[in-house]
Structures are given as structure tokens and as C-alpha cells.
């Protein structure tokens, strides 16, 4: 693929550092990658094999993100902004990307919206259209004005294919800092933290954790922390201190720090072996920026965090609180920063021992590449939207439920789960966004540990037993089946029991003893035997026929949006909508089992973008109606 990443950092270099790490990861994976940077050049940031296009830089002074300055501190005028936009579009035309990534926009960088929107509009105007992706850190600065949030959501919903969140929900979910709409939440993909900082091994490896290491990122905003640290060091003399000062601190201020430092404190500029210093530090004292958090998680060092909070900034405070909640740091609010309180926190951390090692993903760059590769393999939104389908049959029958004050139950089953994949991640994020329970029919012989690790944070996701190995035993020319009449009944029972035992071992508390035959085909003679094997439920596709087997609760699925006999993409939308409307009407009219919920059946591993978009649209419409219920599989199969 050809990948273009657009980023403009305005204060520190964190946004550029993260975008450059993504560019290196794409390049390592064999993709031709170009990074377009609109902030101040940062000599320590490496691009590896990726190409750099440097726009005429802009920056800000402090937290005034509405006023753009040039390299010399002069206010930027329209000529410079116009030149930046033209150079950005020239880069787009030169690269002809298959993937366009906008860093932070449309969640932020509103002052540069004109150039970002020009890039997005240019991408949407070409055929075939590139994949358009937003890239954001774990925590965002949420605007105080609701209309700005709505504007970001409109842009996301109408223009973007995905939002890569470079964080781990085990530490903090994006919703803690930004109120996601349902549609926006459906676009979110968590990558884990982007860590491209190198190894966290002390050199030499026998070095003891001895010194107190103070760092403050690349901007001048950390000067108060440096000054407080020098004063605190005067009362903590039993340990050596090292203060590493970022390039954003002017040389006169740097020299002043060196001149006032006690004898046991070394003051020096930022160095490329910072990770090695951190790995052998007894305590780290720092702010709580994104890259700082990644450094701490990688190095496993106890920390005192003084989050940057000037100008009503909340990002670092929230991140510091989340790290402190996991026992990884002690929080010292910026308003309480003083030599005495800092010295106290340092002594407490020296006495506390090593921090815990939580399960936080740090492979965000590689995972971002894998997610984009998966999205790019699917047909994504065309440049011109297709004609709208007729949803009126569904709307009409839903109005009936309200008029008759009747409630119809709907449940969701997805087949063929075996491992954590980008598609499964998307499925679970959609289910979470719409607050819906889901039953995953997992193939017992194929279940990998990553599946259960991912489901640990999904209380509404459950596992049911999808046969044994999803192998076809039907002879050539007949419809596929693993549990059809093509084999002896004893062999079918043996494999059904083996599937349940494997699932009990692999899936533990998430498992419901419900048998779901691959291809939804089962020899009828097997059903009466299932309860004796340990099953309590059965689920296939279509209307139930005949009496259920003793000891077995049967609840089928009824609506499948995939065109299995043709394109294996989305069936005509109107046909799927009509089937669902008919199923609801049948329950209202008494023509179907009133106690059987309507089952939506999906297959996440083969969904193209059309199927995903239809499912998200359908769920959004259904959740708007109060006369529909969504029982949990654990309730359906008690």
C-alpha cells in the first residue's frame, strides 16, 4: 500500500513522535509511507524508511492553541496557511495514497481544519477512494462547546472509515475523555500503546536502580517541575539525581538550571539512551504525557507524576490518575507542586518497592498496521453514496409494536470465532457501542488464548459451541455439514461431546452449553442425545420445526445479511429489511412462536465494509425503538 500520514504538533513533540512511529511501522511492513509534518522540526525523531514532507512549520505559545506562530514567534498569516495547504495537496497527488491518516483531526486541530479538510476532500474525490483513518492518543481534550463535538462526529460519520485509538482500554477507554456517539464508537479500533522508544534495558545490565531521574518531555512547560526538583533534591541527598531537560527549554534557562543544581544532581540535555537511564532509575519524576506513560510501562519503574494542567488541560491528569489507580505511580497535582511535597512523594516511592506489571498492550504501531491492512482489504465507502434502500416495512412494523404496546425480543449470534482478529475486535466494539449482548459460536478445536483474553473485558459476550472443528463431512455435490446424516450417529455424538469438553477447558466462565452446528445443519437424530452429553441448548437457522428435544432449549437465528450463494457480500438491503419486518409481524400476528426471540446471525470474519455498515445502521435503527428487547444469551439459555 501507499500510506500518507498528516500530523501537526503545536507544543511538544508527542504527536510527531507517535505519528513517526506509525510511519516506521508501516514502512517496516513493506508499505510505501510518507509523513507530512506541519510542526516544528524535531531532530531526535526518526522516520526509518519512511519519507518526510516538511510543511512551513507552525507552533503555539503555551496553551493558546488558537494562535499560530512561525519559527520566529511571529503570528502566522493567510499566505503561509495557503502555502501549507498547497504543499499538502501536492504531496497527496504525488503519493497517490491507498490510505490517508489524519493525526488528531477531526477530534482536534480545529485551527488547521481548512488544510485537513482539503486533504480529506481530495481523498474522497478520487476513484478508487483511499481508506481514510483518524489516529488519536488514548485521551483527548474534549471541547466545552457541544457543537464542536457534534461537528467532529459529523465529519467522522460522513468521511472516515475508522478511528485508531492508540491506547488500551485496560488502562483508559476513550469515552473517559470524549463522549462518543454510537456511530463514532462503531468506528473505534484500539491498537494498544505505540511504543517505538527502543529497549528498556539498563547499560550495563548489572547497574542497580540508584538515581532519581527527572524528565519533562520536549517543551518548556516542564520548567516549574525542573526547578521544584532541584529544590527537592537538596533535602533528598542520599541518592544521586539526574535532571534531563528537553530541547524546548531555551539555552539560558538550561544554563540557569545547571548553575543552581546541588552537587549530587546532574543536569543535562535529553539523550537518545533515555530508556536505559529510566531502566536503572530508582524513581522517575515526570509529567504524564503519552510517551512518558509508555516509557514508564516499558521500564517498570516507580514514578511520581506531576501532570501538566495549565490552561485547563485535563489529559495528563486523567492519565496520571489511571496509572495511579493501577499502583504504577503516585500523583502530585501541579497546583500542589512544591519542593517539600515533591521530596515527600519521592521518599514514599523509594520505600514502596517495585510496581505491579499490568497487562497493557504496547504493540500499538504493529497492531495499527494490521488493522489498516485488514480494513484496506475490504471494499470501503464509495466516493458516491449508493441510493438509499427502502426501510419503510421495518419502520411500519415497529410503529405497530408501539401502537399495540407489544415488545419483541431480538438476540445476536455471530459464528466462527477462534481468535482475536481485527474483525473480531470490530465486532465486539460494535456490540459494546450499542450495548448489546452477543453469543459467539466458537470452533472448539480452533480456539486460541487470544480469544478469551479479549473477551475478559466484555461482560455481555458469551461463547456457545460451534461443532468440533468446522470440517465438512458431506460427500461431493451435497450441502456442507459437519453433523449431517453422512456419518454414523455414534460418531456425531462423540464429536459433539468432544466439542463441549474442549470448549469447557478453553472458554471457562464465558461458556454456555449450547450446540450450534456448523453450516446450521444437523441430523435430527442427534438432537435427543445432546442433553445427555451435557448440552442445555441448541441453535440453528430458520423457523423451529416440530417439538424441541427433551432437556434442550432451542432458539434459532432468522436474519442473515450475507449473500452466501452469490457475492458473499451484502444481500440487497431491502430484502434483509423485509425479512426482519416479516419476522416481527409474524410474532405480533401469532404466526410464529411468540416466545422465540428473532435471531440476527453474522459472520465477522467475512464481513466486507458493506455488511459492517448495514449491521451498524440496522442496530442503530433498532436501538431507537423502546418496544424491542435484547435478552442476554445467558438468560435465553439458563
Over the stretch 407-457, which tens digit does the pLDDT of each residue have?
999 999 999 999 988 889 889 989 988 899 999 999 999 999 999 999 988
**How deeply is 50 buried, as exposed, middle or buried, from its count of CB atoms within 10 A (0-12, 13-18, 19+)?**
buried
Kindly tell me if the per-residue pLDDT of 61 is higher than 70: yes
Q: How many CB atoms lie within 10 A of CB 533?
A: 17
pLDDT for 57 equals: 94
Return the CATH number of the domain spanning residue range 386-636. Answer: 3.20.20.370
**Residue 6: C-alpha distances to residues 24, 52, 254 (Å):** 14, 10, 32
- pLDDT for position 10: 86
Q: What Å distances lie between residue 472 and 41, 457, 467, 625, CA to CA?
A: 59, 33, 11, 41
* Closest CA relative to residue 128, chosen from 92, 97, 173, 166: 97
2-190 and 386-636: identical CATH topology: no
Average pLDDT over residues 162-177: 93
Give the DSSP H/E element, type plus range, for residue 310.
none
Out of 61-70, 469-478, 553-562, least confident range? 61-70
DSSP classification of residue 483: B
Residue with cell 525542573: 226
What is the model's pLDDT at position 198?
A: 57
Yes or no: say if 552 and 536 are a contact pair by the CB < 8 Å rule. Answer: yes
* pLDDT value of residue 32: 96
Percent of the chain beyond pLDDT 70?
95
Can you spell out the DSSP letters for 508-556? GGGEEEEE--GGG-B-GGGHHHHHHHT--EE--BSS--SPPPTT-EE--
Helix H or strand E segment including 439: strand 438-442
Mean pLDDT in residue range 377-399: 71
Peptide bond into 280 cis (omega under 30): no
Question: Could you state, in order of their start, the residue ranges of all structural domains in the chain?
Answer: 2-190, 212-352, 386-636
CATH number at 212-352: 3.40.50.2000
Place of cell 464429536: 495
Tell me the mean pLDDT in the region 512-539. 96
Q: Are 311 and 173 contacting, i.e. CB atoms less than 8 angstroms apart?
A: no
Cell of 175: 469515552
Per-residue model confidence (pLDDT) at position 63: 65
Three-state SS sequence of 49-104: CCEEEECCCCECCCCCCCCCECCCCCECCHHHHHHHHHHHHHHHHHHCCCEEEEEC
Which DSSP symbol is given to 273?
A: T
Sign of CA dihedral 413, 414, 420, 424: negative
Q: How does the average pLDDT of the chain come out, rounded? A: 90
Determine how β-strand 283-286 pairs with β-strand 212-215: parallel
CA torsion, points 382, 383, 384, 389, in degrees to nearest 10?
A: 20
Q: ω before 128 within 30° of 0 (cis)?
A: yes
Check: CB of residue 266 under 8 Å from CB of residue 243: yes
Least confident of 26-35, 107-116, 262-271, 538-547: 538-547
Q: In what order do the strands lie in the sheet with 212-215?
A: 265-269, 241-245, 212-215, 283-286, 303-305, 329-331
Nearest to 18 by CA among 112, 125, 138: 138
Are the C-beta atoms of residues 553 and 532 closer than 8 Å to each other? no
pLDDT of 379: 58
> What is the C-alpha separation between 9 and 404, in angstroms, rounded?
57
Q: Look at residue 387 and tell me whether its pLDDT is greater than 70.
A: no
Q: Under the phi-then-psi rule, with left for phi > 0, alpha for psi from -120 to 50, and beta for the rest, what region is 74?
A: beta
Burial of 392 (0-12, 13-18, 19+ CB in 10 A): exposed
Q: Please tell me the distance from the alpha carbon of residue 331 to that of residue 257, in angstroms, as a whole number.
A: 24
As given in the structure block, the three cell numbers for residue 51 are 519519507
Cell triple for 330: 503516585
- Name the 3-class secondary structure at 634: helix
CATH fold group of domain 2-190: Rossmann fold (3.40.50)
Query: What's the distance, CA 197 to chain centroid?
Result: 21
Give the closest residue to 338 by CA, choosing from 313, 311, 306.
306
Amino acid at each position: 500500500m501507499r500510506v500518507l500520514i498528516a500530523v501537526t504538533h503545536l507544543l511538544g513533540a508527542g504527536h510527531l513522535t507517535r505519528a513517526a512511529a506509525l510511519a516506521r511501522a508501516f514502512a517496516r511492513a513493506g508499505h510505501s509511507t510518507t509523513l507530512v509534518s506541519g510542526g516544528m522540526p524535531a531532530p531526535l525523531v526518526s522516520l526509518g524508511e519512511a519519507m518526510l514532507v516538511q510543511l512551513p512549520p507552525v507552533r503555539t505559545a503555551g496553551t493558546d492553541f488558537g494562535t499560530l506562530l512561525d519559527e520566529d514567534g511571529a503570528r502566522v498569516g493567510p499566505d503561509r496557511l495557503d502555502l501549507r495547504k498547497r504543499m499538502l495537496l501536492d504531496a497527496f497527488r504525488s503519493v497517490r495514497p491507498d490510505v490517508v491518516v489524519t493525526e488528531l483531526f477531526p477530534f482536534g486541530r480545529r485551527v488547521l481544519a481548512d488544510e485537513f479538510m482539503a486533504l480529506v476532500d481530495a481523498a474522497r474525490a478520487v476513484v478508487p477512494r483511499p481508506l481514510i483513518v483518524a489516529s488519536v492518543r488514548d485521551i483527548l481534550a474534549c471541547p466545552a462547546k457541544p457543537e464542536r463535538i457534534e461537528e467532529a462526529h459529523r465529519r467522522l460519520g460522513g468521511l472516515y472509515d475508522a478511528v485508531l485509538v492508540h491506547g488500551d482500554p485496560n488502562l483508559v477507554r476513550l469515552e473517559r475523555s470524549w463522549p462518543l456517539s454510537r456511530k463514532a464508537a462503531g468506528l473505534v479500533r484500539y491498537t494498544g500503546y505505540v511504543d517505538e522508544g527502543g529497549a528498556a534495558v539498563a547499560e550495563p545490565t548489572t547497574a542497580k536502580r540508584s538515581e532519581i531521574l527527572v524528565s519533562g518531555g520536549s517543551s518548556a512547560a516542564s520548567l516549574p517541575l525542573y526547578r521544584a526538583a532541584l529544590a527537592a533534591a537538596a533535602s533528598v541527598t542520599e541518592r544521586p539525581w539526574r535532571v534531563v531537560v528537553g530541547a524546548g527549554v531555551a539555552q539560558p534557562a538550561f544554563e540557569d538550571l545547571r548553575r543552581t543544581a546541588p552537587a549530587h544532581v546532574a543536569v543535562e540535555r535529553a539523550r537518545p539512551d533515555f530508556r536505559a537511564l529510566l531502566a536503572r532509575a530508582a524513581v522517575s519524576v515526570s509529567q504524564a504525557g503519552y510517551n512518558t506513560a509508555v516509557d514508564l510501562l516499558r521500564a517498570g519503574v516507580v514514578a511520581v507524576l506531576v501532570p501538566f494542567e495549565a490552561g485547563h488541560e485535563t489529559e495528563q491528569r486523567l492519565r496520571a490518575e489511571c496509572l495511579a489507580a493501577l499502583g504504577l505511580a503516585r500523583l502530585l497535582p501541579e497546583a500542589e507542586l512544591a519542593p517539600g511535597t515533591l521530596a515527600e512523594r519521592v521518599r514514599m516511592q523509594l520505600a514502596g518497592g517495585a510496581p505491579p506489571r499490568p497487562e497493557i498492550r504496547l504493540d500499538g504501531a504493529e497492531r495499527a498496521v494490521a488493522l489498516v491492512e485488514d480494513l484496506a482489504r475490504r471494499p470501503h465507502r464509495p466516493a458516491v453514496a449508493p441510493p438509499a434502500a427502502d426501510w419503510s416495512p421495518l419502520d411500519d412494523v415497529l410503529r405497530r409494536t408501539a401502537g399495540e404496546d407489544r415488545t419483541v425480543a431480538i438476540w445476536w449470534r455471530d459464528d466462527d470465532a477462534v481468535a482475536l482478529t481485527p474483525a473480531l475486535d470490530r465486532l465486539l466494539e460494535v456490540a459494546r457501542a450499542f450495548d448489546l449482548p452477543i453469543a459467539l459460536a466458537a470452533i472448539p478445536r480452533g480456539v486460541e488464548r487470544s480469544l478469551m483474553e479479549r473477551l475478559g473485558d466484555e461482560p455481555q459476550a458469551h461463547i456457545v459451541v460451534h461443532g468440533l472443528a468446522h470440517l465438512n463431512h458431506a460427500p461431493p455435490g451435497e450441502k456442507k455439514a459437519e453433523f449431517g446424516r453422512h456419518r454414523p450417529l455414534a460418531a456425531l455424538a462423540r464429536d459433539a461431546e468432544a466439542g463441549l469438553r474442549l470448549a469447557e477447558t478453553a472458554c471457562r466462565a464465558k461458556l454456555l452449553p449450547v450446540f450450534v452446528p456448523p453450516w446450521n445443519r444437523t441430523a435430527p437424530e442427534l438432537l435427543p442425545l445432546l442433553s445427555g452429553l451435557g448440552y442445555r441448548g441448541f441453535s440453528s437457522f430458520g423457523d423451529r420445526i416440530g417439538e424441541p428435544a427433551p432437556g434442550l432449549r432451542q432458539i434459532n437465528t432468522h436474519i442473515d445479511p450475507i449473500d452466501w450463494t452469490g457475492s458473499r457480500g451484502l444481500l440487497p438491503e431491502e430484502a434483509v429489511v423485509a425479512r426482519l419486518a416479516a419476522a416481527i409481524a409474524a410474532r405480533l400476528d401469532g404466526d410464529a412462536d411468540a416466545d422465540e426471540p428473532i435471531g440476527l446471525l453474522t459472520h465477522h470474519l467475512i464481513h466486507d465494509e458493506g455488511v459492517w455498515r448495514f449491521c451498524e445502521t440496522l442496530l442503530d435503527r433498532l436501538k431507537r425503538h423502546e418496544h424491542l428487547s435484547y435478552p442476554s444469551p445467558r438468560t435465553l439459555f439458563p
